[in-house]
């Protein structure tokens, strides 16, 4: 707006706009691990040096530090976490950082990113997955304080399971009401806007926000029962509030993360080409793969493997012109025929990936299938597959996740089987009709 209307100041300064609610960014962890995080002067700088929780606290477990935050190119909280990491390793306030600092300290930020066990789309989803999957999935997460409250409320046992650890300096998610002063705003619209703001800042609405785990933006509003130690939060935490860097510095951080800091993925995509995938489902799958390959980053490599009555050797491609051409050849040759060795194929991918690491990164198996099988083409049913994966140590060291996309319209796929497959290694199952699968795949691609 300032570029379109220079000098007009049609958008009031953020500091002059009424605060509605806020929630600070914290480190969410299991209660028994919290003392270790509280002992270190700065958890981000500790991540550049330490690999397990006992290194933070001699009284803690030797559990590996598995850390998560949302993807900074698609989430405010992820961007806040990335900025805080640069500020921590540089020893500067965010607003003091320069583009030169980003280049100087990106190797230190990369050390932090190496501890990442998964990027996510929202702090809520990360917190929920942390509760569901346990500390081997993630032991520390950068989330909003409200997510910690929600996690302990969900547990509902009268005990504190998760603790919010407050950094000495952090960002807050500040929800403000900004009313434009532009000449296109009529007096009636201005009056209506002011009434809405007044309503949102009323004691009744502020108390509703408090019940949701958000701190009130109006002084004097009493914090409710959710803001208590039993829900893992400090009623009156002490921390400095970070301010934003300059826009060009933020852009440099995002570019650095994309090209240098982001933890790459060891990704195997298992493609069902059995007879039940004929017609619309196969065409949709081919389009899904094509879109995925076209968006493959230059640092990324992917193993493509298809199965029906037999399991074919993986085709490894990367985000180069030659790699995309090779992927196109693979995709164009896919034909739907034969039975489905879906369980054997997934177990094959699970065993192939750690023995053929493409990068030093996240280990992920994505399954594209309708889950239909007559049983005769598979040597391993789900229980047997689960036992074999547990024997390989995957159940205790959740290093390889299964993400399963169910193909087909209602009644055209085996949802129950696909969900069980995803749950074996605490991954995710997502259902989509042929026309929506590409969007789900695009979401997954951004998570890794």
> How far is residue 13 from each of residues 17, 54, 104, 177, 309, measured CA to CA in Å?
7, 45, 32, 11, 64
Checking if the pLDDT of 246 tops 90, the result is yes
Q: Residue 340 in contact with residue 378, Cβ under 8 Å?
A: yes
> How far is residue 146 from each of residues 39, 152, 446, measured CA to CA in Å?
23, 10, 24
Burial class (CB in 10 A: 0-12, 13-18, 19+), 199: exposed
Apex CA 305: angle with CA 303 and CA 310, to 5°? 155
pLDDT for the residue numbered 398: 44
In this prediction, residues 313-317 reach a mean pLDDT of 91
In this prediction, residues 17-21 reach a mean pLDDT of 95
3-state secondary structure (DSSP) of residue 406: strand
**Alpha-carbon dihedral angle through residues 411, 415, 418, 423, given to the nearest 10 degrees:** 170
pLDDT for the residue numbered 341: 81
pLDDT for the residue numbered 78: 95
Task: Average the pLDDT over each of 33-37, 132-136, 247-251, 416-420 and give the range with the smallest value.
Answer: 416-420
Considering just the CA atoms, what is the radius of gyration of the chain in Å? Answer: 24
CA 379, 384, 389, 393 dihedral sign is negative
Cα 276 to Cα 225: distance, rounded to the nearest angstrom = 54
pLDDT tens sequence across 155-187: 776 778 999 999 999 999 999 999 999 999 999
Task: Average the pLDDT over each of 41-50, 174-183, 334-343, 361-370 and give the range with the smallest value.
Answer: 361-370
In this prediction, residues 180-203 reach a mean pLDDT of 95
HSE (side-chain half, CA atoms, 13 Å) at 194:
8
pLDDT for the residue numbered 251: 96
Cα 7 to Cα 293: distance, rounded to the nearest angstrom = 45
In this prediction, residues 129-135 reach a mean pLDDT of 82
Q: Residue 316 in contact with residue 267, Cβ under 8 Å?
A: no
Task: Average the pLDDT over each of 11-25, 325-339, 365-379 and give the range with the smallest value.
Answer: 365-379
Q: Which two tokens stand for residue 312?
A: 């074919």
Minimal CA–CA distance to 108: which of 131, 90, 125? 90
Q: Which two tokens stand for residue 121?
A: 């789309």
Cα 395 to Cα 404: distance, rounded to the nearest angstrom = 18
Local confidence band at 359 (pLDDT 50, 70, 90 cut-offs): low
In this prediction, residues 212-228 reach a mean pLDDT of 91
Beta bridge partners of 272: 307
In this prediction, residues 41-47 reach a mean pLDDT of 96
CA 197, 198, 199, 205 dihedral sign is positive
3-state secondary structure (DSSP) of residue 17: coil
Q: Which residue has the tokens 């796929």?
A: 413
Cα 47 to Cα 36: distance, rounded to the nearest angstrom = 12
Contacts of 333 (CB under 8 A, 6+ apart): none
Checking if the pLDDT of 50 tops 50, the result is yes
Cα 358 to Cα 272: distance, rounded to the nearest angstrom = 22
pLDDT for the residue numbered 86: 98
The residue with greater pLDDT, 255 or 385, is 255
The percentage of residues in the chain with a pLDDT greater than 90, rounded to a whole number, is 49
The percentage of residues in the chain with a pLDDT greater than 70, rounded to a whole number, is 84
Cα 131 to Cα 152: distance, rounded to the nearest angstrom = 9
pLDDT for the residue numbered 363: 77
Cα 19 to Cα 366: distance, rounded to the nearest angstrom = 43
Apex CA 246: angle with CA 245 and CA 249, to 5°? 85
Q: Residue 421 in contact with residue 402, Cβ under 8 Å?
A: yes
Which of 113-127, 145-159, 269-283, 302-316 has maximum average pLDDT?
302-316
Q: Which residue has the tokens 């785990």?
A: 213
pLDDT for the residue numbered 401: 72
CA 197, 203, 209, 215 dihedral sign is positive
pLDDT for the residue numbered 357: 67
pLDDT for the residue numbered 256: 95
The residue with greater pLDDT, 432 or 50, is 50
Q: Which domains does the chain have, with CATH numbers?
A: 19-174+227-260 (3.40.190.10), 264-447 (3.40.50.410)
Cα 377 to Cα 107: distance, rounded to the nearest angstrom = 49
In this prediction, residues 345-367 reach a mean pLDDT of 77
User: Could you give phi then psi for residue 267, rounded to 5 degrees?
Assistant: -120, 125
Checking if the pLDDT of 265 tops 80, the result is no
Checking if the pLDDT of 290 tops 50, the result is yes
Q: Residue 210 in contact with residue 22, Cβ under 8 Å?
A: no
In this prediction, residues 320-331 reach a mean pLDDT of 91
Q: Residue 377 in contact with residue 411, Cβ under 8 Å?
A: no
Contacts of 396 (CB under 8 A, 6+ apart): 136
Question: What is the average pLDDT value for the chain, to the nearest integer?
Answer: 85
Which of 165-169, 257-261, 444-448 has maximum average pLDDT?
165-169
Minimal CA–CA distance to 20: which of 205, 170, 149? 205
pLDDT tens sequence across 384-432: 666 666 554 444 444 577 777 777 665 555 667 777 767 666 666 667 6
The residue with greater pLDDT, 271 or 341, is 271
Q: How far is CA 203 from the centre of its chain?
A: 34
């Amino acid at each position: 707006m300032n570029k379109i209307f220079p000098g007009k100041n049609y958008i009031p300064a953020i500091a002059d706009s009424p605060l509605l609610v806020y929630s600070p960014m914290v480190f969410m962890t299991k209660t028994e691990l919290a003392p270790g995080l509280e002992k270190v002067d700065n958890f981000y700088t500790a991540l550049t040096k330490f690999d397990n929780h006992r290194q933070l606290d001699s009284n803690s477990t030797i559990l590996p530090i598995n850390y998560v935050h949302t993807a900074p190119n698609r989430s405010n909280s992820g961007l806040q976490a990335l900025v805080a990491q640069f500020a921590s390793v540089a020893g500067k306030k965010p607003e003091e950082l320069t583009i030169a600092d980003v280049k100087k300290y990106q190797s230190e930020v990369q050390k932090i990113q190496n501890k990442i066990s998964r990027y996510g789309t929202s702090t809520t989803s990360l917190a929920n997955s942390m509760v569901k999957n346990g500390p081997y999935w993630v032991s520390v997460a950068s989330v909003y304080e409200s997510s910690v409250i929600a996690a302990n409320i969900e547990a509902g046992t009268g005990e504190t399971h998760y603790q919010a650890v407050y950094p000495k300096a952090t960002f807050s998610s500040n929800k403000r009401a900004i009313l434009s002063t532009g000449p296109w705003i009529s007096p009636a619209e201005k009056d209506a806007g002011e009434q809405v703001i007044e309503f949102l800042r009323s004691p009744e609405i502020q108390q509703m926000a408090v019940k949701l785990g958000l701190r009130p933006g109006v002084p004097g509003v009493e914090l409710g029962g959710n803001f208590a130690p039993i829900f893992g939060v400090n009623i009156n935490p002490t921390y400095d509030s970070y301010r934003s860097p300059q826009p060009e510095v933020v852009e440099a951080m995002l570019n650095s993360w994309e090209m240098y800091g982001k933890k790459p993925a060891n990704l195997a995509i298992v493609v069902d080409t059995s007879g039940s995938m004929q017609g619309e489902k196969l065409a949709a799958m081919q389009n899904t793969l094509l879109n995925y390959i076209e968006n493959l980053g230059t640092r990324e490599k992917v193993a493509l493997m298809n199965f029906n009555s037999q399991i074919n050797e993986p085709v490894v491609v990367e985000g180069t012109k030659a790699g995309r051409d090779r992927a196109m050849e693979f995709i164009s040759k896919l034909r739907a025929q034969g039975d489905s060795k879906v369980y054997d194929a997934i177990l094959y991918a699970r065993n192939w990936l750690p023995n053929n690491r493409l990068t030093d990164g996240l280990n992920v198996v994505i399954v594209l299938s309708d889950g239909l099988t007559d049983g005769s083409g598979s040597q391993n049913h789900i229980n047997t597959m689960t036992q074999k994966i547990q024997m390989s140590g995957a159940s205790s060291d959740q290093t390889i996740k299964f993400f399963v996309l169910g193909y087909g319209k209602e009644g055209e796929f085996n949802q129950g089987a696909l969900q069980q497959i995803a749950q074996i290694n605490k991954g995710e199952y997502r259902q989509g009709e042929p026309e929506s699968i590409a969007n789900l795949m695009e979401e997954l691609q951004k998570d890794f």
